[in-house]
């Protein structure tokens, strides 16, 4: 009886160890999993694709920036606070990376193609960094991109006839050099938190 009990315990422990090792192998091991300041989106089944015309009318996609950490932000040029603050922080992060700054790509997606003309968009992103790219699609393309990223946006009527502002999701999406979405950074997190997550992805093996 005692021998059978010992055999049972041995088998149970072996099975448990096997499951533990399998889980570690599947997720890369708890010790090697990166820790982000933002929300970890690793393995998310959305924000996987982005294909829109740039300010020059050329179709761009995430594949164009493979090998770089890409930060995608949905906004509009007449935004009074969230958008310029986010873009300024992204510019600050790029400068703080020094030589590695070339490995960071900022992408600004307009949610207001009605007013965000190509020339206006080019001037807007260049004001923060000349390497940043602005994307501007049709209304239908913009809606499809926002749906893919689960980004909310809507017109809010202004005080004068025909004027309006835009309510929108105030956050950035960070992609690793392989083009996979990895982090969701909420507005207000600050440049340092964004920089830390960008560095984590640049140094990831």
Per-residue pLDDT tens for 105-123? 999 999 999 999 999 999 9
Could you tell me the strand order of the sheet in which 104-110 lies?
39-40, 181-186, 171-175, 69-75, 104-110, 133-135
For the cut 70, the answer to whether the pLDDT of residue 134 exceeds it is yes
User: Residue 182 contacts by C-beta under 8 Å, 6 or more apart in sequence?
Assistant: 36, 40, 41, 42, 174, 175, 176, 201
Angle 143-144-147 (CA atoms, 0-180°, nearest 5)?
85
* Residues present in the chain in total: 205
DSSP 96-108: HTGGGGGGEEEEE
pTM of the model: 0.84
Q: pLDDT tens digit string along 58-91?
A: 999 999 999 999 999 999 999 999 999 999 999 9
Q: What does the alpha-carbon distance between residue 143 and residue 45 come to, in Å, rounded to a whole number?
A: 18
Q: Are residues 45 and 81 in the same domain?
A: yes
Are 163 and 82 contained in the same domain? Answer: yes
7, 70: one domain: no
Query: Which residues span the domain enclosing 16?
Result: 1-30
- The span from the CA of 68 to the CA of 172, in Å, is 16
Question: Are 104 and 140 part of one and the same domain?
Answer: yes
CATH of the domain at 133: 3.40.30.10
Nearest-angstrom CA–CA distance, 205 and 195: 18
């Amino acid at each position: 009886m005692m021998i059978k009990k010992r055999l049972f315990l041995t088998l149970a422990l072996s099975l448990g160890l096997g499951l533990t090792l399998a889980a570690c192998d599947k997720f890369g091991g708890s010790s090697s999993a990166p820790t982000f300041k933002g929300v970890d989106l690793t393995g998310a089944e959305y924000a996987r694709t982005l294909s829109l015309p740039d300010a020059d009318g050329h179709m761009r996609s995430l594949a164009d920036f493979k090998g770089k950490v890409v930060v995608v932000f949905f906004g509009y040029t007449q935004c009074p606070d969230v958008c310029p603050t986010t873009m300024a922080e992204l510019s600050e992060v790029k400068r703080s990376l020094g030589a590695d700054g070339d490995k960071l790509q900022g992408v600004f997606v307009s949610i207001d193609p009605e007013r965000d003309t190509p020339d206006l968009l080019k001037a807007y992103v260049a004001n923060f960094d000349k390497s940043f790219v602005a994307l501007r699609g049709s209304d239908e393309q913009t809606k499809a991109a926002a749906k893919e990223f689960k980004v909310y946006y809507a017109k809010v009527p202004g005080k004068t006839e025909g004027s309006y502002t835009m309510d929108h999701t105030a956050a950035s999406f960070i992609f690793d050099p392989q083009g996979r979405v990895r982090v969701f950074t909420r507005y207000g997190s600050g440049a340092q938190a964004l920089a830390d997550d960008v560095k984590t992805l640049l140094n990831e093996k």
